[in-house]
Structure 1
Amino acid sequence: MATEPKKIIIDTDPGVDDAMAILLALRSPEVEVIGLTTIYGNVYTTLATRNALHLLEIAGRTDIPVAEGSHVTITQGTKLRIADFVHGADGLGNQNFHPPKGKPIAQSAADFIVEQANLYPGKITVVALGPLTNIALAIQQDPAFVKNIGQIVILGGAFAVNGNVNPAAEANIFGDPDAADIVFTCGADVVAVGINVTHQVVMTDADRDKLVCSNGKHAQYLCKILEVYFSYHHDAYNTKGVYLHDPTALLIAVNPSLFTYMEAVIRVQTSGITRGLTLLYNKQKRFAEITEWSDKPWVKVAVTVDAPAVYKLFMDRLMDS
């Protein structure tokens, strides 16, 4: 008998690769998207909400609710790092699409996530594609949340490689390091995929041309929004292609066997020059002293990815849309 699709909530800050991930999720029969929750990151939260509503309209899925998330960090920080120089001022490649007709639901993102986890204990996967504020708020709000939530898949961290905001920090963790540390140490079933893995999954300039030639509605849409994202990567990384961070993380929820994992304790540096650094302790050595690492729960960290398989899945589903 066919297993029923896995219920997922995508917590997202729609820029360009979020758009790819959301459209990919809607084309993946293994998952059922039961809601989008929004957060700042690539754009401010208000615009993230607008972009989420817009993407659901494009996909003909306005039945899926959008819950607006936090506008500030977990410590009430208002000075946010917004990556509009990567994704365009509107987050979607400066296309200035018409405003969506839909509106977000009245519930906040954290309330919605907590409610769904209560309704379907053990059945919900949150795929977190931006800073982790909403998820940390859900953890603080409801003591039962970490038991009720099925899994939290995190796009975030740079494990044993340089970050992409600065040498220490990856963007999503840097967006709210205090929230990230709360999530990594909360005791839920957490899987992290860092840029050490997502940088292995690349869409080249030549691949983009394939999308342009395909008849898929979603493929055509993505071609419109990709220009800014490609030119940023050309300049910043000197590469002829873009990294598929968000779609890769999403595919952990769709097909976890495309990756291998290790178990570790992860802590996040919350201050100083290395603020946002994710440090992984593999428990190979038992330390005598009691420290901030002792008795912290394991999380799973993606170590390798079958990049060609991930890429093929991504292209097949979007070109066929």
Structure 2
Amino acid sequence: MKKKLILDVDTGVDDAQAIMIALSSPNVEVLGITCCHGNTPLKNVVKNTLRVLKVCKRLDIPVYKGFSQPLLDNKRHAGDYHGIDGLGDVPDLDAPGIELLQKEEAVQAMIKIAKQHPEEVILVATGPLTNLAVAVQLDPSFPKRLKALYVMGGNTDSRGNTTVCGEFNFVADPEAAYAVLERFNCPTYIATWEFSCRCSLPWSFCDELFSQKSEKAAFMKKISALSMAKAKSADYQKEVIAGGGFNPCDVFALAAAVDDSFITKKEEVAVTVELDGRHTRGMMVLDYMELLKKEHKVFIMKTVDLEKLKKMLINAVK
């Protein structure tokens, strides 16, 4: 049986790469894609998602519009890295129109799909967790119907990429991240910011990836140019941890959801999100001393099989 996935995205460049991996994986069925504010305003997220589906010739996959702002905080976007439009500022004059969006809202769609396939659906979240937090508020049984949740977000070493101690997806909606980590009791796997930095892909592989002779490879190369230039800058290299190559953050969560053997080392620990700190708001906190007395623990990815990831990316652009 194919794995059944819902992708919850804020489609920037790395979300696009993750979507393309999912669509090229023979053991995966994408049941729907739900969109959220994040890397770029929601109106761009839905357009970008449709652009990715178009180049993959998969406009049959339903796309749903979710929340355009966080639960309580001010909006944040990542235009300096992903481009103002979230997809490298390389517009497509023939991009699909938003009339292709489903009429149903993202949260309602998530809940409905999970009810239709109880304990079969894997939810992969690569943006702020606003849609997920509202879904569990509307239907507290929603997490129990999921097979698993895979998240790109949070951090383990208090190294931020948006604030002093905060990773973008969690900082973009701290209350949502807190609610999800408190109330989702399904198996939960997290690819954190520092982990993704340590797993950066060498620039030589990027050259190999973009040299593939296909429309998909040309598309990925075009949308990635701006973020790759940023990633190569001296200022950015000071911010990242180890690595020194290209960090496709969101693909780690997706790859783990697609291939159970992708994660080679993980640790199980209770986590929460700091909501009040002046410098630490949005930071993920790991409870190694078990002072939180939480029954549900998450799996933090530590090491992965990067050769498998490279193969997934190559297959994604064939």
Distance 2:298 2:210 in 1: 39
Deviations 1:11-54 (A, max 9, x none): 11111111111111100112111111111111011110111111
Which residue in the other structure is 1:33 paired with?
30
Q: Is the 8 A contact 1:216 1:318 kept in 2?
A: no
Tell me, yes or no, if structure 1 residue 273 matches structure 2 residue 271: no
Kindly indicate whether residue 71 of structure 2 is the aligned counterpart of residue 74 of structure 1.
yes
Distance 2:275 2:192 in 1: 18
Within 5 Å, give how 1:158-177 maps onto structure 2.
158-177=155-174
On the 8 A contact 1:204/1:241 being kept in 2, the answer is yes
**Which residue in the other structure is 1:257 paired with?**
261
User: Is 1:208 matched up with 2:212?
Assistant: no
Distance, in Å, in 2 between the alignment partners of 1:46 and 1:226 is 20
Map of 1:48-197 to 2, 5 A cutoff? 48-75=45-72, 77=73, 79-98=74-93, 99-101=95-97, 102-186=99-183, 187-197=185-195
C-alpha spacing 1:134/1:224, structure 2 compared with 1 (3 Å): same
**Structure 1 unmatched runs, 5+:** 288-292
2:11–2:86 Cα contact (<8 Å) kept: yes
- Contact map agreement 1:39 1:45 (CA 8 A) in 2: yes
Residues 205-244 of structure 1 mapped to structure 2, 5 A cutoff: 205-235=203-233, 236-237=236-237, 241-244=245-248
Report how many residues are paired: 307
Letter of the structure 2 residue corresponding to residue 63 of structure 1: D
Distance 1:197 1:295, change over 3 A: closer
**Do the aligned partners of 1:197 and 1:305 also contact (CA within 8 Å) in 2?**
no
- Aligned residues of 2:21 and 2:313 also touching (Cα < 8 A): no
Distance 1:286 1:9, change over 3 A: closer
TM-score, normalised via structure 1 length = 0.91
Partner of residue 299, structure 1: 298
Change (3 A) 1:296 1:240: closer
Q: Is the 8 A contact 2:210 2:218 kept in 1?
A: yes
Contact 2:163 2:279 in 1 (8 A): no
TM-score by length of 2: 0.91
Give structure 2 stretches of 5+ with no counterpart.
none
Quote the Cα distance in structure 2 between the aligned partners of 1:168 and 1:123.
Answer: 35
Output the amino acid matched with 1:143. P
> Aligned in 2, Cα 1:126/1:286: closer, same or farther, shift over 3 Å?
closer
Whether the 8 Å CA contact 2:130–2:173 is kept in 1: the answer is yes
In structure 2, do the counterparts of structure 1 residues 257 and 160 end up closer, same or farther at CA, with 3 Å as the change threshold? same
Identity across the alignment (%): 30
Superposed displacement of residue 66, structure 1: 0.4
Amino acid across the alignment from 2:191: V
- CA distance in structure 1 between the partners assigned to 2:148 and 2:207 by the alignment: 36
2: CA distance between counterparts of 1:44 and 1:159? 27
| Aligned partner of residue 317 in structure 1, secondary structure | helix
- State the secondary structure of the residue aligned to 1:279: strand
One-letter amino acid of the counterpart of residue 272, structure 2: R
CA RMSD of aligned residues (A): 1.7
C-alpha deviation, 1:198, in angstroms: 1.3
Task: Report the counterpart of residue 14 of structure 1 in structure 2.
Answer: 11
Shift of 1:257: 1.8
Measure the CA separation in 2 of the matches of 1:219 and 1:12.
Answer: 21
Aligned to 1:24: 21
